[in-house]
Structure 1
Amino acid sequence: MIDILLNTATTERRGAVRENGKVKEIFIERPEEERIAGSIYKGRVKDVLPGMQAAFVDIGREKNGFLYRDELVGYKLLEEAYEVKEKRSISEFITEGQEVIVQVTKEEFGQKGARLTENVSLSGKYTVFLPDGGYIGISKKMSTEDVREEWRTRAENMLVDQEGMIIRTICESLTEDIVAEDIRFLREDWERIMKEATSKRPPSLIYQDAGIVERLLRDYPLDQIQKIIVDHFPDVQAIKRLLRFEKKDIEKVVHYRGHENLFSAQGVEKELDKALKPKVWLKNGGFLMIEKTEALTVIDVNTGRFTGKQDLEETIRKTNIEAATEIAAQLRLRDISGLIVIDFIDMKREENKEAVVKILEHELQKDRTKTNVAGMSTLGLVEMTRKKVRKGLEDTLFQACEPCQGTGLIVSDEAMAYRVERLLHEHREMEAEAMVLEVPARVYDWLHYQNQGLKLLAAWQNRYDFTLFLFAASSVKHITIRYTGTIEMAQERLESLKQQSE
């Protein structure tokens, strides 16, 4: 069973999904202007690139959105043979300066603008409404093909013109009237959106996707939800209004009144902290190392403290199988997306390799986000992808470290000391009696408290004619000459720097 925890009493609104007592997903929502996935904009085409079959669209964000030819309604509804249709240029469907209604399918990442589509979709509790979709999609998880075809026929009677819809699995247990009502509400929403669009000039936001509360209630079937624990009373009231048709659903809503933060009280805060660390321990003593780069995410599997009893191959197989299960859980928990490379421990037997990949694929089926596994190479590497929709936990909660510029590495104390030496050598022939040099505090400490540093200081005193005064600055990362001149004035300048830093 599922518990939904909503920590929404403060500006940063957070949600968590707990399955059978274990946190599986964490969602973070910042103020409205930062939430754009699923939002609909009235934009203006800024540039059309036939060579890329794409266009840049100004939607009022810092970066222009990116719209592929295949995401245009005109192209999608064109009834031509694939070979003919594929040769058509984007310029036949869209022009520079044209106004367009587009929806964000992927949020902005790094230097890339948002990914856009003209094929708008509006999600309801039981269906997804496609105003210009032109097709009907039925959940493959329905019990039989006959049931799917029956719902396809029913759906045709609910739609008009070029409308389309996707019917969720839960519809199998519902009446046609309830599903039709869901579509009717979504159609009315779309009509309001289009009315809003006529009164606004591009670029402008005309519809913002549901917030964290509505989205979680929409995405998870109520019959699987055991509790909805909320710490913000207005949200408690709003949820009860949404669930007002079923008393048993209203009774699932719990208002948390404790003084301690809800996530702390429910143990979610600890899981969140763990999800931000690169090392993940496995139950058998092995561990994963998860490292994200600009291009991909790399996951390395290690046996760690797990040595097994006798058979090395069996030890590796067990570690890899447990790792496959945990990797699927971590991808979901951390919301890692894009290209992912998993370095499993090398196995000799093909049947063991196949077993590990099957376990990984099986566990990934629990993930609502689309994934694709390419199989295992002879080196034990598995390449896979996970659809990128919005920022993951790391991108949401971290920023690049300024001293290391996001690399996780800084120039060592010793290397910085040698930079000092090169700077001194450049001024070896200066006529001034003294120099005041500001250095990072860690470099100052290395020069004064490490044997190698003390030897280096002594060498400088013998080599250079001027007197060197070093000032340790805790907040700087560069080496800076603060004064050159007489010894007396250098001493005064050094004292002045010390007083300013206190």
Structure 2
Amino acid sequence: MREFYIERFINSSKLAVLEDGKIEELIIDDKVSNISVKDVYSGKVVKLLKSMDACFIDIGNSQLAYLKYPKNKKIYENDRLLVQVIKLAKGDKKPSLSLEISLSGRYLVYIPDNSKLVFSNKIEKKEEIDRLKKIMEEISPSNQSFLLRTNAINASKKEIKEDLTILLDRYQKIEKKFNETNDLSLIYSDSNSVDKYIQEHLNRDLNKIVYYDCYENRQIRNIVKSIDNSYLDKLEKSNSIDVFRDYGIENKIEKYLKKTIHLKSGSWFTVEFTEAMTIIDVNSGKYIGHSNYENTIFRVNKECAREIANQIIVRNLYGIILVDFIDMKDEKQRQEVIDIMIKYLSKSSIKFNIHGFTKLGIMEISRRREGNSLHSYYFDCNKYVKEAVTYSINYIVDHLERKIIHDIVHTKNNNLIELNINKEEYDFIISNRPMVFGDFENKYNIKVEINKI
């Protein structure tokens, strides 16, 4: 049974995707972050480093981003370019840009610079490929700049045509805005990944969408209607302002913030971060499942593989991931563990590659970055060492908002909310989010009184 739960807070919009009560995916739109993947900007070339195949682009307010020097196009300093963000900044690395613009719809991806029709790897049946190719020839005979997404399987000609029209219109507006202004600025943002996820994954398998009836959530009804009116009965308005707490989602998320994950069998694994990679170490623990040692180890590894894949998706881990499974000598067993990882990692649309086992028995995985990790949203450091963990401003502000919601619901004088905050934490909030208390007051129509303790 698949369910969506939506939370809209000052910091972010969040969508928890549950399958039979377990979080399968967690989408977070960070409202404070000023750059998102797939944003389209009008930028200016400020520096060329041809020896390094690098360009630095000012995308507004002197924000510099990196563009790999294109081999098929000559560009010069001070040129204005239409560019799209493909990677976010990380540490000292600047955001990465591309000259190839791609716009995603429910069934199609429009890539104006592309000259051929491309199909998702998951569209495997020749009959379906031929059907979709015929539809595209009928609705766009002279324009083959599209990628057919997995969602296009069994989609009707009408549905695909509507998607195509929306994408073409969107790109025309982007071009028009770029040509009409000399400003260096954001041209188009596709950063509302919560609503986009709903739009792309709403289908018959979904049981319900649970949300609180606030201004930001009222567009959900329009999204659902645009797909199929019959899906409107899947919408469930919650009486609770704090959906994640009252439906137990917040408690479930805590599991994905821990360093050590214990499984029912008694086995466990740890998740460690370094600057270059994520390391996951499997331990059999108290598991005693079979008299044969090799079979016992095999069962532990299979159980951990399923949970590790889920942890990777929900935590949104990316880059290089090394998994130190308990050593297996049997190649068939190793391959079966790889197959399990592929099966469960494929539940997310984010691209990944399993490179196999090293000679030391460590599984190598690489996963594309799309957005920030769950850890980076909740913590201010990239380590799980207990002494080094510092909660982020996001965590603190979310915690304060839950406190405010609780007091609004449970206190008689709910127009005045008192918050007890120690001086150190208050100074940290003011230095990072000076307007946040005013944002609380405006959103909930209250007066916030701060007591420094």
What range describes the TM-score normalised by the shorter chain of this pair? 0.7 to 0.9
Over the aligned positions, Cα root-mean-square deviation in angstroms equals 2.5
Q: Which residue of 2 aligns with 1:64?
A: 64
Q: Which residue of 2 aligns with 1:338?
A: 319
Offset at residue 59 of structure 1 (A): 1.3
Offset at residue 62 of structure 1 (A): 6.6
Offset at residue 12 of structure 1 (A): 2.5
Offset at residue 373 of structure 1 (A): 0.5
Q: Which residue of 1 aligns with 2:127?
A: 146
User: Would the aligned equivalents of 1:16 and 1:25 in 2 still touch at CA under 8 Å?
Assistant: yes
Deviations 1:117-150 (A, max 9, x none): 1111111122111222222122333362132033
Decide which structure has the larger Cα Rg and report it.
Answer: 1
Offset at residue 27 of structure 1 (A): 2.0
CA distance 1:325–1:55, change in 2 (3 Å): same
Offset at residue 194 of structure 1 (A): 1.5
Q: Which residue of 1 aligns with 2:303?
A: 322
| C-alpha separation in 1, matches of 2:38 and 2:14 | 18
| C-alpha separation in 1, matches of 2:335 and 2:33 | 45
Secondary structure, counterpart of 1:66 in structure 2:
strand
Deviations 1:355-413 (A, max 9, x none): 22222222222221111001112321011101012111111221039xxx997657xxx
Map 1:12-161; keep pairs closer than 5 Å. 12-31=12-31, 33-60=33-60, 64-69=64-69, 72=70, 75=72, 93-142=74-123, 144-159=125-140
Offset at residue 186 of structure 1 (A): 1.2
Q: Which residue of 1 aligns with 2:429?
A: none
Offset at residue 309 of structure 1 (A): 4.5
Q: Which residue of 2 aligns with 1:211?
A: 192
User: Would the aligned equivalents of 1:7 and 1:232 in 2 still touch at CA under 8 Å?
Assistant: no
Deviations 1:169-224 (A, max 9, x none): 33332322321121111111111112222233342101111413321213314223
Say if 2:218 is the partner of 1:237. yes
Say if 2:268 is the partner of 1:284. no
CA distance 1:311–1:174, change in 2 (3 Å): closer
CA distance 1:378–1:208, change in 2 (3 Å): same
Deviations 1:231-275 (A, max 9, x none): 14334431112222533211111111125x211122210121111
CA distance 1:406–1:363, change in 2 (3 Å): closer
User: Would the aligned equivalents of 2:103 and 2:109 in 1 still touch at CA under 8 Å?
Assistant: yes
Q: Which residue of 2 aligns with 1:449?
A: none
| C-alpha separation in 1, matches of 2:181 and 2:32 | 19
Q: 1:255 aligns with which of 218, 237, 244?
A: 237
User: Would the aligned equivalents of 1:325 and 1:360 in 2 still touch at CA under 8 Å?
Assistant: yes
User: Would the aligned equivalents of 1:107 and 1:115 in 2 still touch at CA under 8 Å?
Assistant: yes
User: Would the aligned equivalents of 1:361 and 1:373 in 2 still touch at CA under 8 Å?
Assistant: yes
| C-alpha separation in 2, matches of 1:321 and 1:47 | 51
Unaligned stretches of 5+ residues in structure 1: 76-91, 411-474, 476-501
Mean Cα deviation higher: 351-360 or 337-346: 351-360
Deviations 1:33-92 (A, max 9, x none): 5351111000111222323323221213675222224xx5x83xxxxxxxxxxxxxxxx5
The one-letter code matched in structure 1 to 2:3 is: D
Unaligned stretches of 5+ residues in structure 2: 389-423, 425-452
Offset at residue 299 of structure 1 (A): 0.3
User: Would the aligned equivalents of 1:373 and 1:384 in 2 still touch at CA under 8 Å?
Assistant: yes
| C-alpha separation in 1, matches of 2:385 and 2:268 | 22
Deviations 1:410-464 (A, max 9, x none): 7xxxxxxxxxxxxxxxxxxxxxxxxxxxxxxxxxxxxxxxxxxxxxxxxxxxxxx
Secondary structure, counterpart of 2:240 in structure 1:
coil
Secondary structure, counterpart of 1:112 in structure 2:
coil
Deviations 1:474-495 (A, max 9, x none): x9xxxxxxxxxxxxxxxxxxxx
Secondary structure, counterpart of 2:187 in structure 1:
strand
Say if 2:12 is the partner of 1:3. no
Q: Matched residue pairs, number?
A: 389
User: Would the aligned equivalents of 1:59 and 1:202 in 2 still touch at CA under 8 Å?
Assistant: no
| C-alpha separation in 2, matches of 1:136 and 1:43 | 29
Say if 2:205 is the partner of 1:224. yes
Secondary structure, counterpart of 2:52 in structure 1:
coil
| C-alpha separation in 2, matches of 1:356 and 1:243 | 38
Q: Which residue of 1 aligns with 2:166?
A: 185
User: Would the aligned equivalents of 2:151 and 2:200 in 1 still touch at CA under 8 Å?
Assistant: no
| C-alpha separation in 2, matches of 1:239 and 1:302 | 44
Identity %: 28
CA distance 1:358–1:241, change in 2 (3 Å): closer
Offset at residue 303 of structure 1 (A): 0.9
User: Would the aligned equivalents of 1:129 and 1:165 in 2 still touch at CA under 8 Å?
Assistant: yes
Secondary structure, counterpart of 1:34 in structure 2:
coil
Q: Which residue of 2 aligns with 1:399?
A: 380
Map 1:468-487; keep pairs closer than 5 Å. none
Q: Which has the higher contact order (CA 8 A, sep 6+)?
A: 2
Q: Which residue of 2 aligns with 1:347?
A: 328
User: Would the aligned equivalents of 2:12 and 2:32 in 1 still touch at CA under 8 Å?
Assistant: no
Secondary structure, counterpart of 1:93 in structure 2:
coil
CA distance 1:31–1:355, change in 2 (3 Å): closer
Map 1:290-305; keep pairs closer than 5 Å. 290-305=271-286
Offset at residue 293 of structure 1 (A): 1.1
* TM score, norm. by length of structure 2: 0.79
Secondary structure, counterpart of 2:261 in structure 1:
strand
